[in-house]
Structure formats: structure tokens, C-alpha cells
Amino acid sequence: MTIDRIETFLVPPRWLFVRVETKDGAIGWGEASLEGHGEAVTGAFEPLRDRFIGHDARRIEDIWQIAYRGGFYRGGPVLMSALAGFEQALWDLKGRAFGLPAWEMLGGQVRDKVRAYAWIGGDRPDEIAEAAQGRKGQGFSAVKMNATAELDWIGTPRLFDEVVKRVEAAQAADMDVGLDFHGRVHRPMAKQLAKALEPLGLLFIEEPLLSENPEGLRQIAELTATPIALGERLYSRWDFKPFFEAGAVDIIQPDLSHAGGLSECRRIAAMAEAYDVAVAPHCPLGPLALAACLQLAACTPNVAIQEMSLGIHYNVGHDLLNFITDPDVLTPTDGYLAIPQKPGLGVTIDEAAVRDAAKDGHRWRNPVWRQHDGSFAEW
């Protein structure tokens, strides 16, 4: 079980897959996708190769600690995404070698399935209603959508009414709804809109402010009964710690391909449980990232719901199910994703398809959004 090779693949549209192989031929796959920064994460694998080729692949925690602490500089999206994809691949490799799902090695199942939600787009209520019906046909019972395209320092009742109508259009399709502010909103506006949305009974409002503004987030959490969700731009348990201590969050959304992988997100979830905070992992990514999330959901009691990027606009032509030979494993039914039962991460990668797709790589970059006045808006 000695690590012999660590490969990375920039797979369109914006993914980074990781393949680890041992000298005796055991193989594991992970996902280190960091949207818009694939080249940087690929570069971060060079020190991982130098350090861990020749290392015992079974010693996952030892590898994690060395990879995190051994380079002196630590944390942040690039290094933690590289570590996440590498660590996922080790769990997949070890599970396949021993014939066990990762969740079995992490303590066993606490649930048989987890509720899932998908993204919908559209500006008008009729567009939202059509998109929600489409997701219902795919097996979802919950969706997430933009709060609104234009959110700035101040708002008016007319703007709030438009947001309410869009939410009601999705709810009329028998969908539960979460609203993503994308951290695009300044505090005065976020406070107003949070109050206006409260009667709608939303699943959550996500990033009403950026996580770099914990004081403002705490104020909004104290203002509304709607659950506050955040965490896709946090990368370790230390990043999450102040939000737990401040009581500023109700649902955390660590990304298993950004926040140190399955091991670290399991620790983050355990911290959240001590503060009675739910977990809804962020995952607008590929099949390995989603498979890792389902391993977490299987063995973690406070996971509440799982994001899934089935057929969303930036995956057109490269759907996450295209690169696995068993797409039924990641297909929702009656609003839920079943817990995978196969070894490792529970999905089987089509290696030939990955290698072929990665020949040309990708140079995906985050779109730039602007307000109607021309000023920059958060993604």
C-alpha cells in the first residue's frame, strides 16, 4: 500500500480530479476542484508528490497532518483544495482495498438517504416556476436560487415584492426554497430583505453577508428566524470556529473539495453538532465531490440536506454523471439521494473518459457580474 503515483486531471467544464495509485496497483480517486483556480491547485500537488510518494497510503490521518502542518504555511483555498482531493482519493483507495465504503471506516451509517436540492435560475416568476417544475421532474423536492440579480446598499418595497413573487413561484411547484445572496448584499439591505422574507418559511438564506463580516452576520442572525447558512468560502475548522462561538450561523456549508476533504469536514461537522448547527455541504462540482459528500452524510448525524449540481448551466455538455459508470448511484429519487453502498467513495470512475476529457484541460474562470449601475457584484 505504498503510494507510487499521484496524478491530476483538469476535466471540463471546471473540475480537477485526482488519481492515486500504490505500488501494488490499488487505485483511488478524489476531486480537488477549485472553480477558476485549477492551475494553482494543480501546482500545489508538486510538494504533495515530493512528500508522499513512498508513504503508506493507509495512514490517512498522518498524511493529512503532515500535508496541513508540514509545509509551515497552511490553510486557504488552494492548499486545502489540493489536500481535499488527495485525501478523498486515499479514502477511496483504502475502501476499495478493504472492500468497505468510507462511511463504514468512519463509524457506520446513521441514515439510509439524504435529502438533496438543486439550483434553479431565472429572473421572472414564470421562468422560476418552469425551472422548479423541471427539477421536480428530476426527482428533487427542494431548490436554491438567487435572491435577486440586483442587490445593493438600500432597497425598496417594490424590489422586495419582486423577490417574494419569485420565491412563491417556486413554492407553488411544491418546492422548498433556499435563497442565495452570494454575499452580494451590503448590511443595510440584507437586514431589510431578511425581514421581508421571513414569512415565506425558507429553508435558509445563504451568505446574506460575506463570511469576512462576522459582526454583521451575527446582527442578521439576531434579527430573523430564517436559518442563516454559510461556509463555502471557509476552509478549516479554525475558519468555522468564530461563527460557532458568535452564534452567527444555523447551517454550515463546507465544501468537501475545498475544506480539507472528508476527514476535516467530519471534524467541522462534529464541532457544529456541539453548537446545535446543521450541515448542508456545498457541492456545485463533479461526481467525486458529490460522492464524498454522501460518505459524510452517511455517518454524520447533523447533515440535513445535500447540494447537487445536476445539469446546471456551467456543466452543460459535461454533466457530472458522464464520468461515472454507475450514474444511478448519484440520481435523486423522491427528493433524496441514497447512501452509496460500494467500496471507497461509492462510485466507479470511467478512467478512459476522464483521460480523454483531460487531454485539452480547461481554463474555466468565474464570470464577472455587475450591478445595473456598472459596479462589481459578488459571484
Task: Give the integer Cα–Cα distance in Å for 66 and 69.
Answer: 5
CATH code at position 9: 3.30.390.10
- Looking at the structure, tell me whether residues 269 and 239 fall in a common domain: yes
Looking at residue 128, its pLDDT comes to: 95
DSSP 255: B
Task: Give the integer Cα–Cα distance in Å for 279 and 300.
Answer: 9
Looking at residue 123, its pLDDT comes to: 86
Is residue 122 in some structural domain?
A: yes
* Residue 318 designated active-site: no
Is residue 39 in some structural domain?
A: yes
- Looking at the structure, tell me whether residues 143 and 84 fall in a common domain: no
Q: Which residues of 317-337 are buried (b: 16+ CB within 10 A; e: fewer)?
A: ebbbbbbbebeebbebeebbb
Looking at residue 138, its pLDDT comes to: 93
- Looking at the structure, tell me whether residues 67 and 124 fall in a common domain: no
- Looking at the structure, tell me whether residues 110 and 96 fall in a common domain: no
Total domain count for the chain? Answer: 2
- Looking at the structure, tell me whether residues 68 and 203 fall in a common domain: no
- Looking at the structure, tell me whether residues 145 and 170 fall in a common domain: yes
Give the distance, in angstroms, between the CA of residue 179 and the centroid of all CA atoms in the same chain. 16
234, 254 Cβ separation under 8 angstroms? yes
Q: Which amino acid does the sequence have at 355?
A: R
Query: Which residue(s) pair with 146 in the sheet?
Result: 180
- 10-residue block means of pLDDT along the chain (379 residues)? 98 96 98 97 98 98 98 96 98 98 98 97 92 95 84 68 93 97 86 93 96 94 96 98 97 98 98 98 96 98 94 57 92 96 98 96 90 81
Looking at residue 155, its pLDDT comes to: 64
Task: Give the integer Cα–Cα distance in Å for 210 and 233.
Answer: 9
- Looking at the structure, tell me whether residues 51 and 160 fall in a common domain: no
Is residue 351 in some structural domain?
A: no
Is residue 376 in some structural domain?
A: no
Looking at residue 321, its pLDDT comes to: 83
DSSP 71: T
Q: Which domain holds residue 64?
A: 3-100
Task: Give the integer Cα–Cα distance in Å for 365 and 65.
Answer: 31
Catalytic pick from 37, 55, 182, 313? Answer: 182
CATH code at position 144: 3.20.20.120
- Looking at the structure, tell me whether residues 143 and 83 fall in a common domain: no
Looking at residue 313, its pLDDT comes to: 47
* Residue 313 designated active-site: no
Q: Which amino acid does the sequence have at 40?
A: A
- Looking at the structure, tell me whether residues 158 and 304 fall in a common domain: yes
3-state helix, strand, coil in the chain (%, to 5): 40, 20, 40
- Looking at the structure, tell me whether residues 48 and 121 fall in a common domain: no
Handedness of CA 62, 67, 69, 71 (dihedral sign): positive
Catalytic pick from 37, 55, 282, 313? Answer: 282
- Looking at the structure, tell me whether residues 209 and 282 fall in a common domain: yes
